[in-house]
Amino acid sequence: METFTIEPPMTSTLTVLTVSPSALHYNWGTDGLVLWIEDLSSDNSLLSQMPDLLERIGFGIELQTGWDHRYDDGTMHPLYGYRILLRDATGLWHAVRIDENARFVGTVPLEELDYEIAYDMVMWVDL
């Protein structure tokens, strides 16, 4: 015959706090040499989350192409070579600066509402 001991439940004052960034609300696509990103947030918060956003988009491109820049020798980051346009929540376009490892460096405001003109402008911006 087995004997079981019932002990009172342990009490704890441990509080678990989970901090996560707000959800990213955006749309993106490619158009020739330009990768465009549109901020769909109501508070124009996408710019503050650009490092995470660029990582997600780079991963999305890798899923589409089937290779992994981290393991495929001699390959570049999937964002390498693209000119990147960001349309903020106000409708204005910005050229996005990244370094050779696709890390966010900054933006250049293009002060433009029209995509075709912003497309032409980003080709001439020194990124």
Kindly state whether residue 21 falls inside one of the protein's structural domains.
Answer: no
**Residue 98 included in any domain:** yes
Give me the number of domains the chain comprises. Answer: 1
For residue 19, being part of any structural domain is answered with: no
Residue 6 forms part of a structural domain: no
**Residue from 31, 27, 41 nearest 115 by CA:** 31
In tens, the pLDDT along 57-85 reads: 988 888 887 777 677 667 777 888 899 99
Question: Which DSSP string corresponds to 28-56?
Answer: EEEETTEEEEEE--SS--GGGGHHHHHHH
- Give me the pLDDT at residue 66, please: 78
Contact 52, 25 (CB under 8 A): no
pTM score, two decimals? 0.75
Name which of 46, 24, 60 is nearest 107 in CA terms. Answer: 46
Q: What are phi and psi of 58, to 5 degrees?
A: -60, -40
Q: Does 38 or 5 have the greater pLDDT score?
A: 38
In a domain, 56, yes or no: yes
- Judge whether 15 lies within some domain: no
- Identify which of 65, 84, 81, 92 has the alpha carbon closest to the alpha carbon of residue 122: 84
Domain assignment present for residue 2? The answer is: no
Q: Is residue 99 part of a domain?
A: yes
The range of the structural domain enclosing residue 31 comes to 26-124
Q: Given this model, what pLDDT does residue 15 score? A: 45
